[in-house]
A and B are shown apart, each in its own frame.
Chain A
């Protein structure tokens, strides 16, 4: 389900009603919700952004099956596709919620995957963050007029703006990879020796590269100048021990034209440990 401007297809009726009420108007007072900490909330306010609501999107997804070649390193495309599509569904619904609230973007986005013991082939994908709106009516939306998304905290978001950059989109790349098993003969040859396991090393390299290149391609499509806070996580999601997911995620950013240079930081001694 790709994002379509103005479409609220993925939202249940109750969500649309609640979000519309949160905007206020028609004699009703608006009220915002936010999972930003107080410090994050204040920093967003200082940067002329007001939180407009806690937004969420989720999808419970049945992950299909793909046969693996026991002695071969290979990407499991069916599983990669499932991880992409389910995250996309959750993200799109979250963006639609932000749209209903008239937000310019979403900060502090977290993408969570929960596997249930009772449903081995199913997983719940959840995207959650705080929708914010620029007080001065500045245009912070993306090129295709969707609210920007970012996994940056309120502190990182404030610092990014002060540095003259604005977030564009949460970009991600994923790759589910099967690491080949060793043959019996190969295992015998290694008994009692220090030796590199080339199939493992190669698999990790390949999977990470695929995930990173996909994240980079997403950022290029968004017209970004760079990606900040990029992380590569390795997950197994309860699959076979030879199946791993490499998940690369970060916030694509672009410079804000005409901003001042970064002010010189003040040195402080913290009372914290």
Chain B
């Protein structure tokens, strides 16, 4: 007897998938947990390489697990893929920090995917429908992450006693999130280009600035983190359909 399929999608999304000729097979899952040592930060601005390396290793592990599960199920695509990432001290051994990453989606049999390559997409079924109608197809997840240690705000004696009472931009600290974003975005676009994407849609990002290191002599330091995820898309050469849109009033 054939086993029942399990999907993360709801009934409306399911009907959309079936209408597109995409059959859900089973939920697929990948997870990775790592402990990294609490870095003693240097006195200069730099990448938090230990965390960056760990993030990308975890991402690789999660993607490999998702692909392996999809492979076992003979699925040629994964849709509605959600990625969660968190760092915590809770449950970590002394002197370490825990990093947790989890990837969950629905493995599908997509009759429109004629390439030998399996895709992983963060798109929902409705979004896939829109993409297919417009002549696009998902080709992979695009993820970018950066942890950047920014040393900032060296107190300058010339600012005078009332200096800190004035409105002013903290230029060095502004540079931290900027750099983190640039690196995360570059990595995300690199990943999209590697899987043959012409663009990335529905990018979601998460950023944080957390003080760290020494506050001696008016020097301030912060770890700036930026994570981005989107779906890389490419044109479907076989599609000749065009989207037709008209104004409509929805009656709830």
Contact string against A for B residues 235-252, beta-carbon threshold 8 Å, 1 for contact and 0 otherwise: 000000001011111111
Asked if A36 is at the interface (CB within 8 A of a chain B CB), the reply is yes
Interface secondary structure of A, over-half rule: mixed
Flag whether B131 is at the interface (Cβ < 8 A): yes
Chain A: which residue is nearest B205 at the CB level? A35
Contact of A45 among B134, B181, B182, B202 (CB under 8 A): B134
A119 to B202 CA separation, bound complex (whole angstroms): 32
When the two chains form their complex, are residues A65 and B165 in contact, meaning their CB atoms are under 8 A apart? yes
Q: Across the interface, which residues of B come within 8 angstroms of A38, CB to CB?
A: 123, 126-128, 130-131, 201-202
CA distance A15 to B128 in the complex (A): 31
List the A residue with the shortest CB-CB distance to B250. Answer: A270
Which of B148-190 touch A at CB < 8 Å?
Answer: 164-170, 173-179, 181-183, 185-186, 188-189
Q: A38–B189 Cα gap in the complex (Å)?
A: 18
On whether A60 and B174 interact (CB within 8 A), knowing A85-B167, A266-B246, A266-B247, the answer reads: yes
Question: How far in angstroms is the closest Cβ of chain A from B90?
Answer: 19
Q: Which residues of A contact B130 (CB under 8 A)?
A: 38-39, 41-42
- Residue of A with least CB distance to B178: A12
- The yes or no answer to B66 lying at the interface (CB within 8 A) is no
Shortest C-beta distance, A238 to chain B (Å), equals 15
On whether the beta carbons of A12 and B175 are closer than 8 Å, the reply is yes
- Known contacts A15-B182, A61-B167, A81-B167; is A36 also within 8 Å of B243 by CB? no
B249 near A61 (CB under 8 angstroms)?
no
Q: How far is the CA of A112 from the CA of B245 in the complex (A)?
A: 32
Contact status B169-A33, CB under 8 Å: no
Query: Considering only CB atoms, which chain B residue lies closest to A14 in the complex?
Result: B182
Shortest beta-carbon distance from A91 to chain B in Å: 14
Minimum CB–CB distance for B96 against chain A, Å: 23
Question: How far apart sit A272 and B208, CA to CA, in the bound complex (Å)?
Answer: 35
Taken residue by residue from 255 to 273, chain A's Cβ proximity to chain B (1 for < 8 Å, 0 otherwise) reads as 0000000111111111110
Complex Cα–Cα for A174 and B174 (A): 22
A42-B243, A60-B173, A86-B169 are known contacts. Are A15 and B251 too (CB-CB below 8 A)?
Answer: no
Contact A266:B200 (CB < 8 A) given known A33-B185, A35-B205, A61-B168: no
| Complex alpha-carbon distance, A114 and B174, angstroms | 13
> Which of B127, B174, B203, B248: most chain A CB closer than 10 A?
B174
Q: Roughly how many angstroms separate A33 CA and B197 CA in the complex, as a whole number? A: 10
A32 to B235 Cα, complex, angstroms = 13
Cross-chain contact B199 with A37 (CB below 8 angstroms):
no
B168 touches A62 (CB 8 A): yes
Residue of A at shortest CB range from B249?
Answer: A265
Q: Identify the 3 closest CB pairs spanning chains A and B, nearest first.
A: A38-B127, A64-B167, A32-B199
Binding site for A on B (CB under 8 A): 12, 123, 126-128, 130-131, 133-134, 164-170, 173-179, 181-183, 185-186, 188-189, 192-193, 197-205, 207, 209-211, 230, 243, 245-252
- Taking A18-B186, A41-B130 as known contacts, 18 extra A-B pairs with beta carbons closer than 8 A to each other, sorted by chain A number, are A12-B182, A18-B189, A29-B198, A33-B188, A34-B202, A36-B202, A38-B201, A42-B243, A42-B245, A45-B134, A46-B245, A59-B174, A60-B177, A64-B168, A65-B165, A116-B211, A126-B177, A267-B248
A-B contact pairs, 10 of them (CB 8 A): A33-B185, A34-B203, A37-B201, A42-B134, A58-B174, A61-B167, A263-B247, A265-B249, A270-B250, A272-B250
